[in-house]
Chains A and B, each alone.
Chain A
Amino acid sequence: ETGVTQTPRHLVMGMTNKKSLKCEQHLGHNAMYWYKQSAKKPLELMFVYNFKEQTENNSVPSRFSPECPNSSHLFLHLHTLQPEDSALYLCASSQAETSTGELFFGEGSRLTVL
C-alpha cells in the first residue's frame, strides 16, 4: 500500500449532488489534512485533524463537511457545491508531535462541478 491513498482520483458532479472524497494513510500518522489546489492559486489549507479531533477549520463553507472516524481515514463530504469549487483536493498526513511540519500527500482527487 502506498503512503496516502485518495479515492476517487476524478469526480464530476452537479451542483445538487452529494458525494464524498476518501483518504487513507498507511504511515502510522496521527494528523490528517485537507488542502484545496485551484489553478493559479497557492494551496489552501481547509481542515486539520489531530488524533481524530478537528483542530482547524480555515473558514471553509459548510457545503464541505469533513469526517475523521480514526487516525487513518479522512473523508470530505460534498453537497450543493458551486462551479468555483472545482479544484484538486489533496489529503496529507503527518506525525502531530513532529516539530518540522513535514507533510505526506496523496495524489489528489480532481473535482469538477458542473
Chain B
Amino acid sequence: AQSVTQLGSHVSVSEGALVLLRCNYSSSVPPYLFWYVQYPNQGLQLLLKYTSAATLVKGINGFEAEFKKSETSFHLTKPSAHMSDAAEYFCAVSPFYNQGGKLIFGQGTELSVKP
C-alpha cells in the first residue's frame, strides 16, 4: 500500500531563510509525487510534480523538490522564504500508473513565516 508521511505538522522560519518541508513516501511501484499548497480559506493548488523525468523538479513561486529513491523522500525547498509563503503544504503520492486522481495525501505541514 502507498502512504505519505510529512515530518512536522508545523514549521516556522524567518523571512529570507531557507524553507525545508519534509516528505517521505512508501510505494510498491515507482510513484508519481506532488506538492500542493493551501492558502487560508482556499482550495489546494499544485506547486510541482514528479513524474519520473528529472529528479529535481521546479515549481511555482520559487519552490523545488528533489526525488530521492534511495531515501524514499521528496522534500520541498525554497532558498528564501517570503511572507506570502505562509500556508499549509501537502505532499501526495499517486499509487497507480494509469488511474488519475486517487492521490494519497500526507497530513500537511503548516508553514509560518516571521518578519
Interface residue ranges, A against B (CB under 8 Å)? 4, 6, 31, 33, 40-43, 45, 48, 56, 90, 92, 94-108, 110
The residue that A99 contacts in the complex, of B42, B46, B90, B98, with Cβ under 8 A, is B98
The residue that B44 contacts in the complex, of A45, A90, A94, A100, with Cβ under 8 A, is A90
Interface residue ranges, B against A (CB under 8 Å)? 9, 32, 34, 36, 41-46, 49, 51, 90, 94, 96-103, 105-108
The interface residues of chain B lying within 8 Å CB-to-CB of A94 are: 100-101
From A98, which residue of chain B is reached at the shortest CB distance?
B100
Find out whether the CB atom of B100 lies under 8 angstroms from the CB atom of A4. Answer: no
Known: A40-B107, A45-B103, A102-B100. 20 other contacts (CB 8 A): A6-B43, A31-B100, A43-B90, A43-B105, A92-B44, A92-B101, A96-B99, A96-B101, A99-B32, A100-B49, A100-B94, A100-B100, A101-B96, A102-B46, A103-B103, A105-B36, A105-B44, A107-B42, A107-B43, A108-B42
16 A/B residue pairs, CB under 8 Å, sorted by A:
A40-B107, A48-B101, A90-B44, A97-B98, A99-B51, A100-B32, A101-B96, A101-B100, A101-B101, A103-B101, A103-B103, A104-B46, A105-B45, A107-B41, A108-B42, A110-B41
From B39, which residue of chain A is reached at the shortest CB distance?
A107
SS of B interface (majority): loop
SS of A interface (majority): loop
Q: In whole Å, how far is A98's beta carbon from the nearest beta carbon of chain B? A: 4
- On whether A33 and B101 interact (CB within 8 A), knowing A101-B34, A101-B94, A107-B42, the answer reads yes
The interface residues of chain A lying within 8 Å CB-to-CB of B90 are: 43
The interface residues of chain A lying within 8 Å CB-to-CB of B98 are: 97, 99
Q: In whole Å, how far is B57's beta carbon from the nearest beta carbon of chain A? A: 12
**Distance of A90 Cα from B36 Cα, bound (Å):** 14
